[in-house]
Chains A and B, each alone.
Chain A
Amino acid sequence: MTMTNVDELAYMPIAELAPQLERKRVSPIEIAEAVLSRIEKLNPALNAYYTVYSNELRAAARNAEQEIARGNYRGPLHGIPVGIKDIYEYGRTTCGSKPLDNYVADEQANSVRKLVENGALIAGKTATYEFAFGFPTNKSYFKPTRNPWNQAYDSGGSSSGTASSVAAGLAYAGMGSCTGGSIRWPAQCCGIVGLKPTYGRVSRAGVYPLAWSLDHTGPLARTVTDAALMLQACAGYDPADPGSANLPVPDFTAKLGHDIRGMRVGLMRSLYDSSCDARIRVPYEAALREFEQMGARIVEVPSITLAQQQAIEWPAVFAETAAIHVDNVRHRGDEYNPHAKLFVAFGLLVSSACYLMSARVRAQVRDELVSALDSACDVLMLPTSGTPVPRIAEDSPGLSIVAEDFAIYTPIFNFTGLPAIQVPCGFDRDGLPVGFQIAGKPFDEATVCQVAFAYEQTTPWHQQHPKL
């Protein structure tokens, strides 16, 4: 294969590659080699993977080829290399933290096991913010992941490596986790799709927790269809996860291609209007016009403000994180990234009354959004974040992330649990990606994907890849 062929193969959507695999027009071995050659070439600079399973991937690809040759095709992920965020237990699992550099998990996270059962090939473990919250810097034990669109910039987080690897063609898709935006924000920074399903849709068993009541697991991919295919393969009830929902798993691709004419898109302006940077707002408003041209109706939906979102999200995140990490930090806090100890200490300052007030208000906001989705609109729409992609930092931002100028609009769908997808909608003037979110009713990921797909198909963004 020439490098051009390798690159073309590595960037093919799963939905296009899968039929070719099934018809034996392309081999899983060829695909694995294409991905491995790009990892070898690009990962040293991007630091998207902490661990690459080269030999295991080749062996799994050979098995997949034999299975498909025998007629045992397992579905659209069969023979497709994917990356797994390094807080999922699967082989070496560092959580991006020095004390776990040599930890090798005995078990596999249940969602990863499902992906493997559906034929996915695990290419490696992808970089993460430390335990999904500790910002890496150039001084950290595990170095930051670089953005493939411009390597001076951060890839976002905490699912940094999954986002960077998928955008750079080092995996076809991957798994991330999301407590306040850690699937959608890095997906935005890297110009790809990030799908945070409804709370309870995908098992978290075997994934290192950050904040139990807010943690979600889900896929990142280059297209809406590929994200839906990934979700299909990993979703479902798991008694090992106390938050898992015992509900049937529908076909998440069922509505792709259905007309969205007449659908009502509800804007949550109060959350983003006063804080969204013009560099984000311009492509976002162009996306709004695109929806109108497709025949959707734009309506206004009352919502909370950014300050209110922070008042609800942060006490819950920090208190739960402190509950998880306080003993670790007492013993090995000096080995964490420098500010991580501060985050845990901050969580210990949250009073029980404050935590419970946050939980009560979450219930109110959830009920209001569900009510709006029942009566006023079919989906909700807002920018993913109002702040352009940050540069790689020399020093940690520390607790400054709780300041209001860090305008991110993703947490509202963590503390309400509603499904939300990030879709690219262009680039800012520095050439870095911009995206928006579509959210929907609980467990209605199919409609969320339908609306996102309709936009994706009318725009060129998903066909553009970073020049590497």
Chain B
Amino acid sequence: MNAKQVIAARLAEWNLTLSDAEIEQLAPAYERLLGWQSALEGMLRSRQIAAGMNFPESEPITIVALDRQGGRR
């Protein structure tokens, strides 16, 4: 499937229908999204624990954790 077909199929899962022109506008942004995914993978810190196997060094905590620094939560 090309990008436009992928977009239309993914949006159909959400019962959201866009015109061809709208999907055309989404296509370059979708390509950029795929680039961000690669960039994020490249930024993730982990340590290797076996060949081809990594142990993650961060977890998806949100910035709410900032106020735990004083142990108040």
Contact = CB atoms under 8 A, between A and B. Distances in A.
A245 B26 CA distance: 38
A1 interface: no
B60 interface: yes
B37 A213 contact: no
Interface string A157-201: 000000000000000000000000000000000000000001110
A399 interface: yes
- Grouping DSSP codes into helix (H, G, I), strand (E, B) and loop, the B interface class, with mixed when no group exceeds half, is helix
A346 B29 contact: yes
Contacts of A110: none
A353 B14 CA distance: 18
A247 B72 CA distance: 7
Contact of A307 (B39, B64, B66, B70): B39
B63 A417 contact: yes
B37 A357 contact: yes
A326 B16 contact: yes
B66 A199 contact: yes
Interface in B23-67: 25-26, 28-30, 32-33, 35-37, 39-41, 43-45, 56-67
A349 to B, nearest CB: 6
A247 B70 contact: yes
Contact of A243 (B37, B40, B58, B64): B64
Chain A interface, DSSP helix/strand/loop, else mixed? helix
B4 to A, nearest CB: 12
Contact of A330 (B15, B30, B73): B15
Interface in A410-468: 415-417, 442-443
Nearest to A339: B25
B44 A357 contact: yes
Given A213-B63, A245-B67, A330-B16, A342 B26 contact: yes
Contacts of A150: none
Contacts of B44: 357, 360-361, 364
21 contacts: A245-B66, A308-B43, A311-B35, A311-B40, A315-B37, A329-B16, A341-B18, A342-B26, A354-B37, A359-B60, A359-B61, A360-B44, A360-B59, A363-B59, A364-B43, A399-B29, A403-B32, A415-B63, A416-B63, A417-B64, A442-B66
Q: Which 7 residue pairs are nearest across A and B when measured between Cβ atoms?
A: A417-B63, A359-B60, A245-B67, A311-B39, A311-B36, A357-B40, A399-B29
